[in-house]
């Protein structure tokens, strides 16, 4: 019997959670959450974690299962998610995955390439340089050592260019091998024991931005300010370098007013949504639906692709 992984993609605040629950109920299966911000149990409001009613409506995995104090990589998630799917497919040949983290979606659907081991001394040197010169050093190095990949990130996923952990990795591979990081991509064929069916939710930009603005207002009403204040002592942790928290940390640092911080959250979330769409639209196999599409239409489309 064939296994099928229905994957729901799309920008933040578009309605992926609600759709995933409806589909999980129809197919009588579980949901794999693929939102890298929702892994952490200390972050609830600012990451739009499904509420108790939603969690009770369908079995979810990888929701608030880690701590911000743990090191958790996309590679760790790939391993754990595939293991969980193997377990779930023994119960039912259709499962659901949902999330807005494109890199994590790709990890499960396609996997990662293999890279050679790097001399630890190179990593130490890069860390020292980063501590002295900051993220600009890493950006300049990658632009010099792998200009093609740097340009691709700048266009498709600029948030990566300010992620120290990933930038360090790119640079250490370049320096450690003497080859561009991008030269190692696409070399490995990762086998999967499921057939992926990818569907996306989208809306006109004006509608999408309005939904984002409304969501931020709701988050503030729900207590995002208080949640961020509790996390403020740990503001330098990698897990907290994300929209919705960084802006409020600046407010606590007396750099900006609260009203300005809220507007910055809205603006940066809109930018994030735009980048999500750019990333997901690269997937030529995805079938896109308007966010208001009748659930029966989506189910009929999925059922036509699934052999029971």
Domain of residue 62, CATH code: 3.40.50.300
Q: How confident is the model at residue 111 (pLDDT cuts 50, 70, 90)?
A: confident
Q: Is residue 297 part of a domain?
A: yes
Query: Residue 108 pLDDT > 70, yes or no?
Result: yes
**Does residue 19 sit in the same domain as residue 139?**
no
pTM for this one?
0.81
What per-residue confidence (pLDDT) applies to 263? 98
Confirm or deny that 11 is annotated as ligand binding: yes
Whether 33 and 81 map to the same domain: the answer is yes
pLDDT band at 1 (very low <50, low <70, confident <90, very high): low
Q: What percent of the chain has pLDDT over 70?
A: 99
DSSP letter at 66 equals: B
Let me know: does 38 contact 298? Beta carbons within 8 Å. no
143 and 107 in a single domain? The answer is no
Q: Alpha-carbon distance 79 to 111, whole Å?
A: 9
Q: How far is residue 51's CA from residue 36's CA, in Å, rounded to a whole number?
A: 17
Average pLDDT over every residue of 57-81: 93
CA angle 308, 21, 240 (to 5 degrees): 125
Instruction: Establish whether 12 is an annotated binding residue.
Output: yes
Is 14 within any annotated ligand binding site?
yes
**What percentage of residues in the chain have a pLDDT greater than 90?**
77
| Spatial CB neighbours of 193, under 8 Å, sequence gap ≥ 6 | 3, 86, 89
- Give the model's pLDDT for residue 197: 98
Question: Do 98 and 167 have their domain in common?
Answer: no
Does the annotation flag 15 for ligand binding?
yes
Residues 13 and 100 in one domain: yes
Q: In this structure, are 19 and 104 located in the same domain?
A: yes
**What is the distance between the alpha carbons of residues 145 and 173, in angstroms, rounded to a whole number?**
10
In a domain, 171, yes or no: yes
Residue 71 has a CB neighbour count (10 Å cut-off) of 9
Q: Which of 13-22, 40-49, 270-279 has the lowest mean pLDDT?
A: 270-279
160 annotated binding-site participant: no
Q: pLDDT tens across 254-276, in order?
A: 999 999 999 999 999 999 999 89
Rounded to an integer, the average pLDDT of 180-195 is: 85
Give yes or no: residues 106 and 26 share one domain. Answer: yes
Average pLDDT over residues 75-89: 95
Both 46 and 148 in one domain: the answer is: no
Considering the domain architecture, whether residues 39 and 16 belong to the same structural domain is answered as yes
- Token pair recorded at residue 65: 């299962």
Per-residue pLDDT at 189? 66
Q: Which residues span the domain enclosing 67?
A: 4-112+191-212+277-303
Query: Is residue 247 domain-resident?
Result: no
Least confident segment among 39-43, 61-65, 98-102, 237-241? 237-241
Give the mean pLDDT of 83-93. Answer: 97
């Amino acid at each position: 019997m064939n296994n099928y992984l229905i994957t729901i993609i799309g920008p933040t605040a578009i309605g992926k959670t609600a759709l995933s629950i409806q589909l999980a109920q129809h197919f009588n299966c579980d949901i794999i959450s693929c939102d890298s911000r929702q892994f952490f149990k200390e972050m609830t409001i600012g990451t739009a974690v499904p509420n108790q009613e939603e969690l009770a409506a369908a079995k979810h995995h990888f929701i608030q299962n880690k701590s911000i104090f743990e090191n958790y990589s996309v590679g760790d998630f790939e391993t754990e998610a595939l293991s969980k799917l193997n377990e779930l497919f023994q119960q039912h040949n259709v499962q659901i995955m949902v999330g807005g983290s494109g890199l994590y979606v790709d990890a499960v659907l396609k996997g990662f390439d293999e890279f050679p081991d790097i001399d630890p001394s190179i990593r130490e040197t890069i860390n020292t340089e980063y501590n002295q010169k900051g993220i600009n050093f890493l950006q300049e190095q990658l632009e010099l050592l792998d200009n093609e990949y740097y340009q691709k990130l700048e266009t498709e996923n600029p948030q990566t260019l300010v992620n120290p952990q990933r930038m360090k990795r790119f640079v250490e591979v370049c320096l450690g091998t003497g080859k561009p990081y991008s030269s190692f991509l696409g070399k490995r064929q990762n086998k999967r024991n499921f057939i992926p069916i990818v569907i996306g939710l989208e809306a006109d930009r004006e509608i999408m931005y309005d939904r984002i603005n409304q969501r931020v207002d709701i988050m503030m009403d729900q207590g995002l300010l208080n949640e961020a204040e509790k996390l403020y002592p740990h503001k330098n942790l990698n897990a907290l370098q994300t929209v919705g928290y960084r802006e409020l940390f600046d407010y606590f640092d007396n750099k900006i007013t609260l009203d300005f911080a809220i507007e910055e959250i809205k603006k940066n979330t809109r930018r994030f949504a735009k980048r999500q769409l750019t990333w997901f639209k690269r997937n030529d196999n995805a079938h896109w639906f308007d966010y208001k599409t009748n659930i029966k239409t989506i189910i009929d489309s999925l059922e036509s692709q699934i052999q029971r």
